[in-house]
Amino acid sequence: MSELIPPYYAVIFTSTLKDDFTEYHLMAQEMEALVKHQPGFLGMDSARDEIGITISYWDSLESIDLWRNNKFHQEAKHLGKTKWYSSYNIKISKVIK
């Protein structure tokens, strides 16, 4: 990912998975491919060990809201909440420096 020039927004998503997370990685790959075509998406960093952390970068709060309301993303979020995550947290920050 190239260096981003502030200001921009970061959506910080942390999660822990349940013991059965069958098909989770496939859905994560599908969402990563889909978000790259979302207007206002600037890039993403991700890591998973005991806790998963994904930070996506956006040009505006409106772009974040469009992604939040994307039909396929909403389906993935529903599966995450009901099937794969034992816990999760989302924070949105404005990056100024």
Instruction: Give the model confidence (pLDDT) of 43-67 as tens digits.
Output: 999 998 889 999 999 999 999 999 9
Q: What's the burial of 31, exposed, middle or buried (CB within 10 Å: 0-12/13-18/19+)?
A: buried
Residue 3 lies in a domain: no
Q: What is the pLDDT at residue 13?
A: 97
Strand arrangement of the beta sheet that strand 8-17 belongs to: 41-48, 52-58, 8-17, 85-95
Distance CA 44, CA 76 (A): 17
Q: What is the pLDDT at residue 34?
A: 97
> Rounded to two decimals, what is the model's pTM?
0.91
Distance CA 28, CA 42 (A): 18
Question: How many domains is the chain built from?
Answer: 1
Q: What are phi and psi of 36, to 5 degrees?
A: -65, -20
- Token pair of 32, please? 């990563």
Residue 1 lies in a domain: no
CATH number, domain of 50, equals 3.30.70.100
Q: What is the pLDDT at residue 1?
A: 63
